[in-house]
Structure 1
């Protein structure tokens, strides 16, 4: 809500967006015998008026997720930079790269971009990434990956894409488990209350380090599996693996409680929502 209001998204706009989501999900996920539902059935399931259903279904015809071009190319380039030889060092960290192939041969930004797409100029990618804060140029003129993963720090459109993508997939995994889907998705967390600011800062650093190690390891394996490829008659699938950390001030009661009263709670196994005692 805070993001919506900050970007000028009013209630009427949000209401229209929510209405279209109800129609989209009712159309896609509540079919009988796999048949495309009529406007009347979508209206019945969603509660949206039939005339509105007809209008919104026309708008939602494609149903494709729109990925900004800089995201599509950038994600592929960073995946190579973080998971493929010779772009990672012995510790698995992305190496700083020379700008031109004439300076660093294969270990250059120019060669890295060409490895993914030869139709786009590396200079264009570099200028955009410098603008977004994804890379930086060090004192030796080498290009360093500034973000641990391709999450632009300045471009709102690019950040919005990841915001929507990550929130959707996290919520979808939780909804799958809540509805008893099998097999359940991994969806767990650890949460404490009544910690000091210093303790939270220490935990944030630990979470960042361990989280990035996990992301880099999964990325490296996924890249290897992608290269292995192979033909299959089964439908293709996509996946998302993510980590997050959040902290805020406790309420007054929790803040006044002694540290010994603070509690740590690990989430219940996937698919089993926690229950609070009355």
Structure 2
């Protein structure tokens, strides 16, 4: 019987290529917690993109992929300054704090009586020469939107004449994703996930050349690696012992041994 059926021939009508016998499947759940959070994130990203499109075109191109970009107009220190770590850290903290990128956060701290009003007055938004529609404030607005979207902060400045510092700090997880994760953890009665940060630093000094550092900080645990010109590798490796001691005692961080290698050619 099988071989008799196999010998029979029949024709099968093929469906036209432009039609499909399957209807699109509609989502059955549109109000789950995940979809609500996803819609909020998508809406926030849409708002950010909408604001960016409203910015002047030259500003958009200069701010693209830059995050919060801080670039002072003058060197931070005179050429004769004897620089130490605490002085440099304090000065960098000041220019970030007074850059205007965190204006809303400062307002919230002032409202909670944690900082004096004079600190708010020093922000670019409140200086007499800046109006709400001035190019400077528009630039800061664009940087704030990029910072909200990417979480990236860039500092590009001269420490003193001929000493150039470039510093990038960014979170391991996008801020919008991290906010959603933290919200889900709070709903489950858990603590927010501790943030982790990655940082890259390039310092160019006269008579020394270029020094680069890559760092990652997570829950007070710091990993770091350094690169410099080959003649400096030995001396910089020796100095890492003092650096690790100061970080452990002064900043209270756990730190692994710091490898030092020569810069790629």
Tell me the TM-score normalized by structure 2.
0.23
Q: Quick check: which one's helix share is greater?
A: 1
Q: Quick check: which one's strand share is greater?
A: 2
Tell me the TM-score normalized by structure 1.
0.23
